[in-house]
């Protein structure tokens, strides 16, 4: 009697690559939504055990960070000397927010202290861009921290159901008017402009390199 090995799927025979894991999770998010993606369901889609998946990623949040980082990796960071720093910041912020908006729910885990390579590259690029505009390193980090918080706050307001306007009349019209302003893109654009005006006044020139 000969022992016949059981057939294995392609994913079981091949080592799990992070790119394969990320693309699988992205496809599942499109199909079932972020909230319904679990470590077990991803492992099943990959044809491996949940334990095997845990050898490559720590938890669901890391799965989502991988997807978000792939999206951020599609942003081409421009030459810092190609244009005015203010224009570059506005372009990068818009591109990063559009990337994260494409999969609601990612910003809360992608823009955290546990940055993957592409998110880290954007962070360092922006800090160095503030430095090239004339800020000292501490001030450049402070400036980017403000920008970081502004972007996180805007994405939270857009994605969270708790900030949606209710169709029912609000008990307090002043609060309702405020919520309209909060959800308006104009309020974010004004805040971004004010932050850049503070750290990049017209008289500030880039340091020669």
Q: How high is the pLDDT of residue 187?
A: 94
Convert the pLDDT of each residue in 15-73 to its tens digit: 689 889 999 999 999 899 888 999 999 999 999 999 999 999 999 999 999 999 999 99
pLDDT per residue as tens digits for the range 172-200: 777 888 888 998 999 999 999 999 999 99
Residue 164's pLDDT is 73
H helices of 33-84, in order, are 39-46, 50-54, 60-72
Q: Which residue has the higher pLDDT, 11 or 39?
A: 39
pLDDT at 71: 93
* Structure confidence at residue 9 (pLDDT): 45
- CATH 1.10.10.60, the chain: domain bounds: 16-57
Q: What is the tens place of the pLDDT at every residue in 82-104? A: 999 999 999 999 999 999 998 87
Q: Rounded to whole angstroms, how far apart are CA atoms 196 and 143?
A: 8
| Dist CA 177 CA 80 (whole Å) | 40
Indicate the pLDDT class of residue 119, thresholds 50, 70 and 90: very high
Query: Can you tell me the distance from the alpha carbon of 112 to that of 29, in angstroms, rounded to the nearest whole number?
Result: 20
Name the pLDDT band for 11 (thresholds 50, 70, 90): very low
Tell me what pLDDT residue 13 has: 45
**Per-position DSSP letters for 125-156, written without gaps between them:** HHHHHHHHTT--HHHHHHHHHHHHHHHHHHHH
CATH 1.10.357.10 domain extents, the chain? 76-199
For 130-193, list the strands marked E by DSSP.
Answer: none
What is the mean pLDDT of the segment spanning 120-140? 96
13 vs 188, more confident: 188
pTM for this model (two decimals):
0.80
pLDDT at 170 (0 to 100): 59
pLDDT tens column, 153-179 = 999 888 877 777 666 665 677 788 888
Residue 42 neighbours by CB distance under 10 Å: 19
The 8-class DSSP code of residue 59 comes to S
Q: Which tokens sit at 29?
A: 């998010």
Assign domain 76-199 one CATH number from 1.10.4190.10, 1.20.950.20, 1.20.120.330, 1.10.357.10: 1.10.357.10
| CA–CA separation, 125 and 128 (whole Å) | 5
Q: CA 141, CA 135: separation in Å to the nearest integer?
A: 9
| Residue 203: pLDDT band with limits 50, 70, 90 | low
SS3 for 145?
A: helix
Architecture of domain 16-57: Orthogonal Bundle (1.10)
Confidence (pLDDT) at 168: 66
């Amino acid at each position: 009697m000969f022992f016949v090995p059981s057939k294995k799927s392609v994913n079981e025979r091949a080592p799990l690559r992070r790119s394969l894991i990320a693309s699988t999770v992205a496809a599942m998010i499109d199909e079932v939504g972020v909230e319904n993606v679990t470590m077990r369901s991803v492992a099943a889609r990959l044809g491996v055990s949940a334990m095997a998946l845990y050898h490559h990623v720590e938890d669901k949040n890391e799965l989502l960070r991988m997807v978000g980082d792939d999206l951020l990796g599609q942003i081409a960071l421009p030459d810092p000397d190609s244009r005015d720093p203010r224009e570059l910041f506005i372009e990068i912020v818009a591109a990063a927010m559009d990337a994260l908006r494409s999969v609601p729910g990612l910003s809360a885990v992608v823009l955290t202290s546990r940055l993957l390579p592409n998110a880290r590259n954007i962070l360092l690029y922006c800090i160095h861009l503030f430095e090239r505009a004339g800020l000292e390193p501490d001030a450049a980090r402070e400036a980017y921290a403000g920008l970081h918080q502004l972007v996180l706050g805007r994405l939270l307001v857009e994605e969270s159901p708790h900030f949606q306007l209710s169709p029912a009349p609000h008990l307090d019209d002043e609060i309702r008017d405020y919520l309209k302003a909060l959800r308006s893109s104009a309020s974010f654009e004004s805040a971004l402009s004010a932050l850049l005006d503070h750290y990049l006044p017209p008289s500030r020139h880039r340091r020669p390199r």
